[in-house]
Structure 1
């Protein structure tokens, strides 16, 4: 089972989703990429994932170009805000899904509020990808 998770910058939401999905089942090959990959991970995303025991610090922020020639069981976009354009993926894909989440790196306010946005989005991604795994992916793995 191969899953590609796409976002714009590939530094925050797609990285968290990648970490969660990989932690659910080692039989899934998970990659993440961005249409405008930032080349680095969002440090707050790494921090809030580490707090729950998932280390994404070794992930890389890659361009979607790296994966265009591969075949995928799932390609999932996770960008959500109206100001963002979700990438279109025209490769060989069995299932295309969109699971939009707010970008916590755009949160404005007190440090406490910004941190709470990272927790909220992390927990929403966890719930969404857990549901996808339980209901669609796990049954296909047998």
Structure 2
């Protein structure tokens, strides 16, 4: 079984969404973790808009990358430029490191409809990436 770490700045939104989708598409082929270089708590809109697509992330927790010290990573995926640039060193010499920046929908300000559109757009981008990642590396 592969170990996959998904990193974002606050582990509240994008990394949580990616964890939900990659776990969904990977099935029993991998253990999926998400973490942040900070912890900001689980974003309620991320939970809401993932549930809208049938993925329940409501029991996820916001974790700091240091909490997973000692796990032998097969993949480390950063999902925001900030985490990619500021992530502490993770000793995983054999891990394949991937980076894909996704727009942070939690930063969008506007009407409820504009916020919903931002979350749905980012969700769909993460879903497509996650499906491709699972098919390419975990099948």
Same fold (TM > 0.5): yes
In 2 relative to 1, CA 128–16 (structure 1 residues): closer, same or farther, beyond 3 Å?
A: same
Partner of 1:26: 28
Q: Measure the CA separation in 2 of the matches of 1:73 and 1:118.
A: 29
Residue in 2 aligned with 1:35? 37
- Quick one: distance in 2 between partners of 1:88 and 1:132? 23
Q: Measure, in 2, the Cα distance between the counterparts of 1:52 and 1:89.
A: 34
Structure 2: tracts of 5 or more residues without a match: none
- Is this contact kept in 2: 1:73–1:94, CA < 8 A? yes
TM-score of the pair, normalised by structure 1: 0.89
The answer on whether the counterparts of 2:17 and 2:46 sit within 8 Å (CA) in structure 1 is yes
Larger strand fraction of residues:
1
Q: Aligned pair in 2 of structure 1 residues 27, 136: CA closer, same or farther (>3 Å)?
A: closer
Higher helix share: 2
Once residues 115 and 7 of structure 1 are traced to their aligned partners in structure 2, the CA distance between those partners, rounded to angstroms, is: 21
TM-superposed CA distance for 1:85, in Å, is 4.2
TM-score of the superposed pair, with normalisation by structure 2? 0.91
Distance 1:74 1:52 in 2: 25
Structure 1 unmatched runs, 5+ = none
